[in-house]
Amino acid sequence: MGTAWLILLDSGASIGGRFDEAKAVANAFVNSKRENDIFKVMYFNDAGVVYTLDWTNDKAKAASFIDATVTKPFPASGRGVRELGDIIKQAAIDGFRELGNVGQTVKAPMHQAMVVLSSGDGGSGSSSSVGQAGALIAQYMTKGRFPEDNLALPKMPVPVVSVWFPAGGMEERFEQARAFMQNLANTEIGGFFSVIRDKSLPRGDRIVTAVRNRFDAMWIAKWQASCVAPTIQQTFNFGFDPALGLAGDGSYKDVPVGIDPKSWPLDIDIDTTTQEADKNPMYPGGKVTIFGNFCWEGHKERAELFLLPKNQEVPATLEGVTLEDAEKARKTLIGQGLKATVIDAGKDSATFELPDSEKFLSGKGESFTARVVLHDNETLRTSAITKDKIITVKAVKAPLSSWLKSNTGYLVIGGIVFAGVVLILLLVTAFRSGGKRRGGAVVAAPPPRPGGGGGGGAVAAKMPDPAMSYAAPPAPPPPAPPPPAPGPAFVQRATLSGAAGIFTVLPGVEMKAGRDGALCQILLAEPRVSGTHATMKIDGGQLFVRDDNSNNGTTLNGQRLPPGVWTPVTNGAQLRFGPIEFAVGLE
């Protein structure tokens, strides 16, 4: 399981000749390193921490830091009695508060411990009663929150291993130092106190063995829950199996659980999901079921599925990036994906209808796959988004039967039928027109009526042909379509729908449209679209678009936009990037 060891080495003037002995004990802990152990080492003097080795799992690096960084104690600062309790408390805050965050490249073990190697001088400070300061630090470490108002990480009680090196020249503060160092050890959770008399170097290995034995006898419970509230604090109860021989209070109220995209993704049953997809591959216009441990019974609207375009890059890892960067990566992937329509979602599965687009198919020939991200829009949790863990399943092109039932199939079939009807009408018209040319003639004038006046012959007149057809008066134009429904007062999501695909814009992420796959999330494979054509964002509850000096321009409802200017976009608007048109929907 491993332990994260924070080792504090006293290099103040009061430790004197015991300094090398303290370094030897620090090395004994490092040399006992197990597979999953990590170390952070801090040297402190009378003023505070002066040198720090960040968390590392490299034993040789930790040992070298202990041996070479400080070779002798620092001289006295002249400040009088040092505040040792404050120094240790601040070191614990700095050492443990970032452990386990996304920004750390070293994996944090489940167990943590602090080792204090000191003369204890100044432990009672200038005003505290004997031993009180040590007991306060022990209580602080047992609470396990660094600093006390840090609600972003789980509570992690830390046992303190306190090793006292009595030094000469401090007889008047001897009792205070002993009481401080003894009370510093929170033995109820595995803490340990020991005294090393002068020149007792072999005791270092024995102390390490005793501490390891105490830790090995402890129970540490790792638990997993799929149903969580949409808050960083949770309230729940644990039930212990009597067969384990464990007992105690299993109730937890308003405790932080440290949810972030890296450490707490949605619990996907990837084996069942891929097996189902192998039997029934995904295809445009088809359906897919994602299996896992969910809490969506009666609330299927919480489940969302986004399909990544085939050329969309995903992070190789989230190690070494900040929490904000990880959150941005999650939002970016969601915003770039084609969105499926939820059909049903329950405790252990969610079924979706896929969009009728081949943009999410990756591969060649018959070897297609699809990458998807599942999203809970209430707790804002997603499935894994890194390259090695993102949901990737078998996919195929749409079969003919599905294509015929799709909107594209209906349009093509309708177009063929319409073209056939037009062709038949043209043939009939041509045939009838040809018959009239062959049978039509000028009607001879009737003979003059007897006694007719004027003496002139009557002019021959063309009489109406009974076979001729006459056009009906033109039909009135169809009524204008109703105006689009007004958008929401505060926009939380915008959807661009068009022949090029469906794209989603979310708050907090600027999405670029264009041909450059490395820079653009709205990828448009059209030569008349610029590499980075335009940018979209949701800011203050309003959707905006900005043309980025594109060659063929960006138009909104037929009006070309000036480059470099953020322009608001309303619900139902028609937006064009060059020749590529989208309808805008706001939610």
Comparing 106-120, 289-303, 363-377, 470-484, the range with the smallest average pLDDT is 470-484
Per-domain residue ranges of the chain: 3-216, 267-405, 494-586
Question: What is the band of 477 on the pLDDT scale with cuts at 50, 70, 90?
Answer: low
Tens digit of each residue's pLDDT (9 = 90 or more) over 158-205 = 999 999 998 765 566 788 888 899 999 998 888 999 998 876 556 788
Element (H, E) at 438: helix 407-439
pTM of the model: 0.50
* pLDDT higher than 60, residue 576: yes
Distances in Å between the Cα of 201 and the Cα atoms of 38, 69, 73, 118, 312 are: 24, 20, 18, 15, 59
* pLDDT higher than 50, residue 401: no
CB contact set of 401 (below 8 Å; sequence gap of 6+): none
pLDDT > 90: what percent of the chain? 34
Q: Are the beta carbons of 554 and 569 closer than 8 angstroms?
A: no
Q: Which of 394, 325, 409 is nearest to 360 (CA)?
A: 394
Beta strands in 354-403 (DSSP E): 362-364, 367-376, 381-382, 391-395
Q: Which of 68, 70, 73 is nearest to 19 (CA)?
A: 73
* pLDDT higher than 70, residue 81: no
**Residues 328-352: what's their mean pLDDT?**
79
Query: 3-state secondary structure string, 294-343?
Result: CCCCCCHHHEEEEECCCCCCCCCCCCCCCHHHHHHHHHHHHHHCEECEEE
Please give the residue that has the higher pLDDT: either 216 or 9.
9
What pLDDT score was predicted for residue 444? 43
Question: What is the band of 473 on the pLDDT scale with cuts at 50, 70, 90?
Answer: low
Tens digit of each residue's pLDDT (9 = 90 or more) over 203-242 = 788 899 999 998 888 776 666 666 666 565 667 777 767 7
What SS3 class is residue 200?
A: coil
Question: What is the band of 82 on the pLDDT scale with cuts at 50, 70, 90?
Answer: confident
pLDDT > 70: what percent of the chain? 69
What SS3 class is residue 108?
A: coil
Q: Which of 211, 214, 181, 157 is nearest to 29 (CA)?
A: 211
Number of Cα atoms under 13 Å in the Cβ half of residue 206: 8
What pLDDT score was predicted for residue 44? 94
Please give the residue that has the higher pLDDT: either 428 or 383.
383
Tens digit of each residue's pLDDT (9 = 90 or more) over 87-106 = 999 999 888 876 654 345 56
* pLDDT higher than 50, residue 471: no
**Residues 480-485: what's their mean pLDDT?**
56
What mean pLDDT, rounded, does the chain reach?
Answer: 78
Q: Are the beta carbons of 46 and 17 closer than 8 angstroms?
A: no
Tens digit of each residue's pLDDT (9 = 90 or more) over 254-272 = 665 544 434 567 889 999 9
CATH of domain 494-586: 2.60.200.20
* First-residue to last-residue Cα distance in the chain: 47
| Assigned superfamily of 3-216 | von Willebrand factor, type A domain (3.40.50.410)
